[in-house]
Structure 1
Amino acid sequence: MKTELKNLLSVLILVVFYNVQGQLTGGGEANPDLTTNKESLQVFQDLRFGMFIHWGPVSLRGTEIGWSRGVQVPKEDYDGLYKEFDPVLFNAKEWVKTAKDAGMKYIVLTTKHHDGFSLWDSNFTDYDMMSTPYKTDIVKELVEECKKQGIVFGAYYSIADWHHPDNPMVYPPEKTDTGLKDINDAKTKAKMDRYIGYMKNQLKELIDNYDPAIIWFDGEWEWVWTHEMGMDLYKYVRSLKNDILINNRVDKGRKGMEGITTSNRYAGDYETPEQQVGAFNDKNAWETCMTIANQWAWKPNDPMKSRKECIQTLLRTVGGDGNLLFNVGPMPDGRIEQRQIDRLKEMGDWLKVNGSAVFGTRGGPYLPTEYMVSTRNKNRIYLHLFEKTESPLTLPFPKGVKIEKSYFLKNEDQIQIDRDKTSITINLPEIMPDEDASVLVLELNRSALDIDVQPRINY
């Protein structure tokens, strides 16, 4: 029945011209048809820390999701893994609790990666969770648990689909001539029209049935995906849910792994640096996505980041005015590795003490350095110190702003600060409150958000 529905409905091409008020990221002349819901973006930036989850039948092989198909794992083997996929120890409550214990405020799940497998009960394909021995709608269970525990849910959805017969995008590239040379070729266009219809049907299904706050697109780099297709897909998704957020990978404006959007003519509500902390940017919203280990999908004995790396990665991101989407890859049986749970709990324990310096803050007013980043909210500046300097810390400080109180968040020890007309000098204690990141609070006589970004310092 699903296959019949797929053949019938995937030919529908829904083109929606929809205009709302807002503002796009990136420089250049804005496209009035592509706009961002400002209220949703503000909520998103306040969350600051989320969990990325890459998971699917490929976890049975321990290789990378999508990218190992036809490379490390023969296509026939890879495409048949769903028949063995039976994650009997999957527990949505435990997944969400792991995120919550880490201090994370949202979850983004790979509902469909480049391999085309759907983790939900889809009416438009048989290549989904209901065709596995487990026969359970993973997305439904996770969404319900997110609502119970107060975690925002987002859905990753890949534009690239190397399994779908109507998608001309293939990986690895075919050695033989497929006859698909240009998007304007009649054969290519016909296949893409059908495939876009399939995508829109699945996206409508996800939004109608699971109500994600975010659609996290990926796979837009393929030659067959065009700027016009990206604009159309952005407008279509926004027509289904006006307050949804859509990342910049829906369109062709992303600049490689750096993730920035090159111009306002491209669609996307926020930028997406990958496996690197983005540069300081308090004008355009951005989110670094990064793995807790090396591989996105589960890999046995994959080297994992230390407590120091994890906490400082979060702070370097937030200090640059971005969000961190930190990835875990659950095992084939449905559990997240205990060592990853333990590391995330260490981050959560740090945030229980210092979370006010992260959540709801903006980056600045000091630009990130190797040893320090800063965040701010209301009348407070938070200095995140990664190690003690050998000499007193001197920072530029604007005239007319008074520091009424200064103390460490962890132990509330008062810190003496000296100042002159243009700077402040902080005499730090011999032993810092936290060996990986100590937060010093400066309470001001005015809003910290009104202070201009200060010149870069060397310290």
Structure 2
Amino acid sequence: MRSFSYLIIFLFFSCQLKAQTNLIDPAIKTPKAVLDNFMDQRFGMFIHWGPVTLRGTEIGWSRGINVPADDYDNLYKEFNPVLFNADEWVKTAKDAGMKYLTITAKHHDGFLLWPSAVSDYNIMNSPYKVDVVGLLAAACKKYDIRFCIYFTVLDWHDPNYPFHKPGQKNIDAKADMKKFVLTMKSEIQELVNNYHPYMLWFDGNWESPWKNEYGIDIYTYIKKLDPKVIINNRIGANSEHTKLGPEILGDYATPEQKIGALNMNDPWETCMTICNQWAWKPNDSLKSLKECIQTLAKTAGGNGNLLFNVGPMPDGRIEKRQATRLKEMGNWLKLYGESIYKTKGGPFKPNEIYAATRKGNKLYIHVFDKKSNELILPALHAVLVRKAFLLNGGAINYQQAAGVITLQLPAQLPDQNDSVIVLELNTNAESIPVIS
């Protein structure tokens, strides 16, 4: 019996030791102050773009599926986006009220949007021969936008990666993951040393060839290049992107195509498309202004950032309708940005009627839909409302009994997409516990 107990103890500590080997050295993790600054930004632009726009199919995922692999791999020989203008792209982000920009420097198809000494499969061997990544980095600096880079963990084009198309099950016996990881390091070194990204957005970490040990190696390597660069949670071997935790590598969570849940403990960023497809698609449906603004407000209300995707066209332009929609969001933010930037989410969970953000002693209530003349908020115990008013508007009548706040809504809300009511409190709104 005693030997059995010793065995249990041995197995327990062995498992603990194994779990610890999956962790990043805390000394090299991204500083909290850097992550807090990132979360203050609240709104960024995602850009999915490359030679595949010549076919109008999804970037990476259509290789060998919707587009024959040989056709897909040779599209770069026709790729000549002569109307690409980095300043115009970044100015579009600026006018939208976005604070950072993330470009797909390398997606799952393996094509590089920068001149690389590592791989010939890059933009300088297209007819265009322009350093897209470098021009965007410079334009972001000019317009005070934080420059970020998307980089794939998988690469269906690289012969050293064991899979060569989406959904492949049989591993290529000629592949060599050690060589593949070395290639990754060399490409990442070029990106970090040449373009100094604020953040690296990894993706493609769910396929079986990718192991957690590779993620730890890459994270550690990046931190030697730049200790402050932010790294998302898609660098370790996992498919659970909505979470952080001891078993998940990275600095923040990345729910995709859905708004993340209210989380006051872990930083997170929702990535979502302005249309349906990530890369450009002819006649793709465009989200309404109401959906765009409410998505941003609900994301901030959940204490997250929104990375909103555009897919530029084959000639290098962002579609006018996409740019117009973003400008409309920027116009709303000029009036109501105080309730988004540098705020905390909560204390109420966002819903279809309202969301809440907070800063200092102010609680911002984002009203999406007027169901009645009153909006009743859950009770805030030991908290008193001293004043209520429309942001950029007049006073709002209210009652507070047993902590329950009842707001008298005006006959006509000032903004049909999201009207913001400010509640000035007798205490720091950011210290109020989440109302479950």
Q: TM-score when scaled to structure 1?
A: 0.87
- 1:232 Cα deviation (Å)? 1.5
Partner residue in 1 for 2:430: 449
- 1:445 Cα deviation (Å)? 2.5
In 2: Cα distance, 1:352 partner to 1:273 partner: 27
Partner residue in 1 for 2:283: 301
Q: 8 Å contact 2:342–2:359 — kept in the other structure?
A: yes
Q: 8 Å contact 1:63–1:299 — kept in the other structure?
A: yes
Partner residue in 2 for 1:161: 155
1:121 and 2:115 correspond = yes
The one of 66, 69, 73 aligned to 1:79? 73
Q: CA separation of 1:367/1:405 partners in 2, compared to 1, >3 Å: closer, same or farther?
A: same
Superposed CA deviations along residues 3-34 of structure 1, whole A, max 9, x for unmatched, are xxxxxxxxxxxxxxxxxxxxxxxxx9993515
Q: CA separation of 1:72/1:358 partners in 2, compared to 1, >3 Å: closer, same or farther?
A: same
Moved more, 226-235 or 85-94: 226-235
Q: 8 Å contact 1:297–1:330 — kept in the other structure?
A: yes
In 2: Cα distance, 1:399 partner to 1:268 partner: 36
Q: 8 Å contact 2:233–2:244 — kept in the other structure?
A: no
Partner residue in 1 for 2:228: 243
Q: 8 Å contact 2:388–2:421 — kept in the other structure?
A: yes
In 1: Cα distance, 2:426 partner to 2:409 partner: 22
SS in 2 for 1:248: coil
- 1:320 Cα deviation (Å)? 0.6
The one of 284, 292, 302 aligned to 2:274? 292
The one of 162, 167, 186 aligned to 1:201? 186
1:424 and 2:418 correspond = no
Q: 8 Å contact 2:45–2:307 — kept in the other structure?
A: yes
Q: CA separation of 1:343/1:118 partners in 2, compared to 1, >3 Å: closer, same or farther?
A: same
**What amino acid sits opposite 2:93 in the alignment?**
A
The one of 407, 415, 426 aligned to 1:434? 415
Superposed CA deviations along residues 305-356 of structure 1, whole A, max 9, x for unmatched, are 0001111111111111110000000001100000000000110000000000
Partner residue in 1 for 2:321: 339
SS in 1 for 2:223: helix
1:132 and 2:113 correspond = no
SS in 1 for 2:357: strand
Written as runs of structure 1 = structure 2, the 5 A alignment for 1:212-231 is: 212-231=197-216
1:360 and 2:360 correspond = no
- 1:292 Cα deviation (Å)? 0.3
**What amino acid sits opposite 1:215 in the alignment?**
L
1:406 and 2:379 correspond = no
**What amino acid sits opposite 1:249 in the alignment?**
R
In 2: Cα distance, 1:75 partner to 1:32 partner: 37
In 1: Cα distance, 2:425 partner to 2:21 partner: 38
Q: CA separation of 1:428/1:172 partners in 2, compared to 1, >3 Å: closer, same or farther?
A: closer
**What amino acid sits opposite 1:389 in the alignment?**
K
In 1: Cα distance, 2:362 partner to 2:90 partner: 31
Q: 8 Å contact 1:253–1:263 — kept in the other structure?
A: no
In 2: Cα distance, 1:32 partner to 1:339 partner: 43
Give the % identical residues: 52
- 1:174 Cα deviation (Å)? 5.4
The one of 305, 327, 332 aligned to 1:350? 332
SS in 1 for 2:67: coil
Q: 8 Å contact 2:215–2:237 — kept in the other structure?
A: yes
Q: CA separation of 1:249/1:178 partners in 2, compared to 1, >3 Å: closer, same or farther?
A: closer
Q: Which runs of 5+ in 1 are unaligned?
A: 1-27, 181-186
Q: Which has the higher contact order (CA 8 A, sep 6+)?
A: 1
Q: 8 Å contact 1:37–1:244 — kept in the other structure?
A: no
**What amino acid sits opposite 2:84 in the alignment?**
F
- 1:436 Cα deviation (Å)? 1.1
Superposed CA deviations along residues 40-59 of structure 1, whole A, max 9, x for unmatched, are 10111000000000000001
Q: 8 Å contact 2:242–2:255 — kept in the other structure?
A: yes
SS in 1 for 2:142: helix
- 1:36 Cα deviation (Å)? 3.0
- 1:398 Cα deviation (Å)? 3.0
In 2: Cα distance, 1:328 partner to 1:178 partner: 34
Written as runs of structure 1 = structure 2, the 5 A alignment for 1:246-285 is: 246-255=231-240, 259-261=241-243, 263-285=245-267
- 1:369 Cα deviation (Å)? 1.7
**What amino acid sits opposite 2:149 in the alignment?**
A
In 2: Cα distance, 1:309 partner to 1:270 partner: 25
**What amino acid sits opposite 1:300 in the alignment?**
P
How many matched pairs? 415
Superposed CA deviations along residues 229-277 of structure 1, whole A, max 9, x for unmatched, are 111111111121111110000012442xxx2236313211000111111
Partner residue in 2 for 1:395: 377
- 1:397 Cα deviation (Å)? 3.6
Q: CA separation of 1:429/1:178 partners in 2, compared to 1, >3 Å: closer, same or farther?
A: closer
Q: CA separation of 1:413/1:29 partners in 2, compared to 1, >3 Å: closer, same or farther?
A: farther
- 1:170 Cα deviation (Å)? 2.0
